[in-house]
Structure formats: C-alpha cells, structure tokens
A and B are shown apart, each in its own frame.
Chain A
Amino acid sequence: MAIKVISPGLSTSVQDLGRPGYYHLGIPEGGGMDRFATMVANLLVGNPEGAAVLEATFMGPELEFTQDAVVAVTGGDLPPKVNGVEQPTWESFAVKAGDRLSFGFLKGGARAYIAVSGGIDVPVVLGSRSTYVLGALGGYQGRVLKAGDALPVGQGAGVAGRSLPADLRRAQPAAIELRMLPGLYWHRITEAAGKRFFEDTWKVAPEADRIGYRFRGGHPLEFVAREQPFGAGSDPSNIVDACYPYGSIQVPSGTEPIVLHRDAVSGGGYMMLGVVISADMDRIAQLQPHTPAQFVPVTMDQALAARADNRALFDRARAHLAG
C-alpha cells in the first residue's frame, strides 16, 4: 500500500534511528532528531521501535491513504486530523482507505513524528531508511517530501487506541537548559568568557535545522591570545580541521554558538566549547526559534545519570506499551 502526499508541509522527511558507521566518510548518523518520540510513535502502532516514520517540522503534511492503516503522532504538539476530525497525539488511531490525514497548527515543540503501522518502506541505504538531504541519500529519493510523492508502507498489525500516559510523555518547555560537558577547545577562551557563556541567556536563531541549531544573543567569546598553529587559518576561532562530535558546540568567529545535531557536518575548522550531553539531544529537536536557552556545565557522572534517566523513561514507555 502507499500514502499519497497531497501537500508536504514545511520540511517533512523519512527518518528511522539512523545509520551509524559512515561518519568517517562525512555521512552522518541521521535519524529522527527526537529519538524518544520516534521510538514511541512506532511502538504505539505496533512497529519495531526503529521503523521509519515521517518527521514533520513546524507544519504537518497532508496525506491520503490508499489502504486502512493505524497511525500515531508524537513529539511536538501538532494536532492530527482525519478527514478534518481532530485526533489525539501520543495515541494510535485508525485511518481508512481514502482518508486524508492533515494537521492543525503547531501548539508546542518543533517536530512531530508520524508513525504508520508497517513503517515507511523506502529502500534501506547503508543500513537505514533515514533521509540525509545534504548528501541526497536514503529516505524518499534522498530528499524531503513533495506533493505527488507516493510513499510505500510495509505490512503492519497495529491497533487503534493505544496511548502513552501523560507522565511518560515529554513536555515542551518554554525555556530550556542545555546541559553540556565542557571540553575539546574550551581552553581557547578566557576564564571570564567561559563564565559569561554560562551566565548569558541565548535564543534559538532562525537558522536551526537537522544539521545544527544556532543560538544568538550572548556575549562574543574572548579568546586566549596565541599565534595560530600552522594550517589552522587566521581567525582565533579557527583550528586545524578536526572531527565534530554530535552535539558539539562550535562558535565561528566567537559570536554565535552552533550545536550540531543528527545530520551534523562531520568535521571542520572551528573550535568547539564542548558537547551537549546525549540526554538533551532530543530536547533540542523540539526547540522553536526565539526560545530562550541557557548552557549548563555538568560532569561526566551527571551526564551518565541523565542518560540513565532518559533510558528509564523509554523503558517505562516500552513496558507500558508492551502490556
């Protein structure tokens, strides 16, 4: 069966849990930016947690189903409608052949995850169905969806009416604290600059996508004076081009921090202050432009504790949906 794309929304792409293993070639892991929402959407419709879903940014698509299906929408608060009738989020619902799935206005968060029983059955490329738009790789023809696309869907066995209790859902906060482990090239900035970096309230800039989120509004960084190393380039924020971790915070020219996300560029020549902890990566996916954000330093032990909390939340969600 297939889903016909009537209108694609703003930027909707096929994503699963990504393709680790090719970053050394510059091909990022990719996958749903909000992994928790991706996995829960799948479990709600009876799919394996890593099946391919649609990730819709800011605005939902309009889709026509050619066969019956079970659908669930998680992540950002983007209300789904079947033939104009509003449906719940974080809960599976039935769609009949010929029905149209559309969406109301976004009420919170930034990205919704639309899972269909059977999963979006585009070809697996390098171990994943995720779309890497910059490299025109994977997903539906290596790109975001367009009107007229026909998405293949696999065989599924979902049931309507399964839902995740509110206490197991992630809330979308009005302001955010992003926990980070300082490191990498942190030593390149002065102590005063480091202190200000954490004190400042930053705002999400409009340049925010699957590659990275830019922040503005804080003080420019002050660098420790040095003669630039050979090959690095002349700006004090330049380094000899190195690998960029997922979640790394680079600051070109010392002005606007960019946090790289799942479609990260794999390396480059800008110094990084450290890396946002893995537990907070999903939360970045749900930030709208202009959201106030503060960077908060944590230790490795705190990062691992937060990771364990995250895992525990998902395990509870999975246990609930398995029952």
Chain B
Amino acid sequence: MSIRFSYGGDEHIFGEVSEAMSLASFFTGLSMINAVRAAQIPGVIETCPANASFQVKFDPDRISPADLLAELKSFEVEAAKSDQTLATRIIELPVYFQDPWTHEVEMRFRERHQDPNATDLEYSARINGYATIEEFVAAYAGQPWFVSMVGFVAGLPFLYQLVEQKKQIQAPKYLRPRTDTPKLTVGHGGCFSAIYSVRGAGGYQMYGVTPAPIYDPTRQVRYLSEEMCLFKPGDIVKYRPQTRDEYDATLEQIAANAWEPTIRACDFSLTDFNRDMAGTNARLMEALNGN
C-alpha cells in the first residue's frame, strides 16, 4: 500500500492512504501526521489527520512544496510499520434515538431524501437488513465506535463502528444537503456516524440527539473547560440509548453544569482487534464499566 500524494494548491499537501475506509489506513495516516508533528518542520502550519487520508498546510515562502513532499514521503515506510496501538480513552455518550426534533427537520426536507415515504431510521434499518428500528438501534448502540476524524465544523467527530466490515451500517447522504440539522444530532453517512456539534447544514441521515454538548466556545461546560472540543481522533465512543425522561433529566443536570460523560482510559490495538473483535470490544466495555 502506498500513499497517493497530491498538492492542494500552493499551500497544502494531501495524502490519501487508501480510497476505501479502514482502520489500518486511519492508523497509517495518524502515524504520518505524528511523524510530521515530531519533525517540527519549519514552514508547516497545520497538520490534519482524516479517516483514510491526511493533510499538511504549509507556507511555501518558508519551505518549498517539493522539499516538503520529499520529506513527507521519507516518513512513509516508517508510518506503514507503526505498531497501530493507542493509549486512548472510551467515552459513553447518551443518545435519545427517534427524538421529535430530528424528526421534525426530516419531515421538512423529505423531498431531498432517497425515500420520502420513510423516516431516516426506517429507511436505514431497511437497507441494512434490520426488520425493525429497535433492532437497528440495538446494533447501532450495541458496539463501540472509533473516532477516525474530527472536522467539517468545530469538534464534529466522524465515527467508525468497531465491527467487521460486513456488519458495518452504511447509508447514503441525502440527495441534496439539508440547510438545517438540529444541534447535537447523531447522524450517519457512508459508513460513518457523526455528531453535529452545532446546528447547521448537513447531509447525513438523522437518528437521534445527544443531550451532551461536545463543543463549547465559551468553555463553561465543566468537561469542556480545558479543551473546547470533546473529541479527538483515536477516541472510542459507546452510545447509550436514553428514553425521553432520561434525556430530559440529563439536560437538567447539564443546565446546572452538574453532569459529565463517563470517560475511562483504555488501550486499543488494531492487531488485537482484527484477531478478536468480540473480545477486544468486551475489554473496552470492561474499561468503561469496571471500577
């Protein structure tokens, strides 16, 4: 596997590890970005890991594009050999699926959807072979997810479910993007789950909302006082379905700034995961729920 490099104008170099999504590609991209950061190359301004690619922004007045490209290529062999393990954390996030707010927005943009006669959940359950929404939600929230990219807008995580590829839930984006998505919507596009950190445009199918802020530019939310964005690439997330009453109760606690998500340290090894997915996920859940 070799990285496809491209200049992105005169200020960016873009590297695509693979066209298709895989955790192996994510890890290679992250290793490339870590190598760039460690090298502290003068003229490099921003380094962004993505799902199966990455991007480096630079000042061509300080480093020539060709020199930077050569330097990035020199990291490639090492990055492909990296041990693909992370000391990371698992975060439990409550989600109220089938909520009234995403439903209302869905109905307003029905003509932009593949199946105007079904809800996003009904449609997604059907095309993924689930008989009911309940079974679909059980699969969605049953296994943990891996944050493979943060971006689009401030603090929005893209999440890849830690299950074998044939069990991955897939759904197309809306035919034409909506101009509105409720804040903190849990959505899905391609094989990715996403949590919309702010209200705004969006094209992902909408399944529910979390009461938990994941981005706070004012840093007043107690668990966002240090970093205004909750998620970073490599985080592991477990959704926990909530009822309306539980959702309302969590919102009240959040309003009083008395709530925070359960966050536990954990390790993740891609080799171990590929060898034994069920066992790896069971250990992740122990890390989350154990004492």
Q: List the interface of chain A (C-beta within 8 A of B).
A: 20-21, 23-27, 29, 125, 132, 134-138, 142, 180-181, 183-184, 229-235, 238-243, 245-248, 252-253, 265-269, 272, 274-279, 300, 303-304, 307, 311
Contact = CB atoms under 8 A, between A and B. Distances in A.
Contact of A243 (B10, B53, B165, B228): B53
B48 A303 contact: no
Interface string B39-70: 00000011111111111010011000110000
Given A233-B172, A266-B48, A132 B9 contact: no
A240 B192 CA distance: 9
B198 interface: yes
18 contacts: A24-B150, A135-B215, A183-B8, A183-B14, A230-B22, A231-B21, A231-B170, A231-B192, A232-B21, A232-B190, A242-B52, A242-B55, A243-B151, A245-B8, A269-B173, A274-B9, A277-B9, A300-B66
B255 interface: no
A267 B8 contact: no
B88 to A, nearest CB: 16
The 6 lowest CB-CB distance pairs between A and B, nearest first, are A231-B21, A275-B9, A245-B8, A243-B55, A229-B20, A266-B151
B152 A240 contact: no
A136 B52 CA distance: 29
B174 to A, nearest CB: 10
Contacts of B172: 233-235
A305 B8 CA distance: 16
A159 to B, nearest CB: 31
Interface stretch (B76-84, B91-99, B153-161): B153-161
A156 B177 CA distance: 46
Given A184-B8, A265-B151, 18 more contacts: A23-B151, A24-B151, A26-B155, A137-B228, A230-B20, A230-B22, A230-B191, A233-B172, A243-B14, A243-B53, A245-B8, A247-B8, A247-B11, A248-B8, A248-B9, A278-B11, A279-B10, A303-B9
A97 B217 CA distance: 34
Given A232-B19, A307-B60, A24 B8 contact: no
B8 A275 contact: yes
B190 A240 contact: yes
Given A24-B46, A231-B21, A245-B11, A238 B173 contact: yes
B106 to A, nearest CB: 18
Given A241-B158, A304-B60, A266 B152 contact: yes
Contacts of B19: 229, 232, 239-240
Contacts of A266: 48, 151-153
Interface string B1-43: 0000011111110101011111000000000000000000000
A210 to B, nearest CB: 13
A294 B55 CA distance: 27
Interface string B195-235: 00110100100000000000101000000000011001000
B42 to A, nearest CB: 14
A181 B9 contact: yes
A226 to B, nearest CB: 9
B55 A245 contact: yes
B151 A267 contact: yes
Contact of B7 (A23, A29, A183): A183
Given A233-B189, A235-B173, A303-B10, A136 B151 contact: no
A23 B154 CA distance: 8
Contacts of B200: 134
A267 B48 contact: yes
B149 interface: yes
B183 to A, nearest CB: 11
B152 A268 contact: yes
Contacts of A307: 10, 60-61
Nearest to A26: B151
A233 B51 contact: no
A315 B198 CA distance: 40
Contacts of A137: 154, 217, 228
A230 B21 contact: yes
Given A238-B173, A240-B53, A245-B55, A265 B9 contact: no
A309 B185 CA distance: 46
B213 to A, nearest CB: 12
Interface in B126-176: 149-156, 158, 160, 165, 168, 170, 172-173, 176
B289 to A, nearest CB: 29
A138 B228 CA distance: 13
A278 B9 contact: yes
B14 A233 contact: no
Given A184-B14, A231-B190, A243-B50, A26 B153 contact: yes
A267 B149 contact: yes
Given A135-B217, A307-B60, A27 B154 contact: yes
B46 A242 contact: no
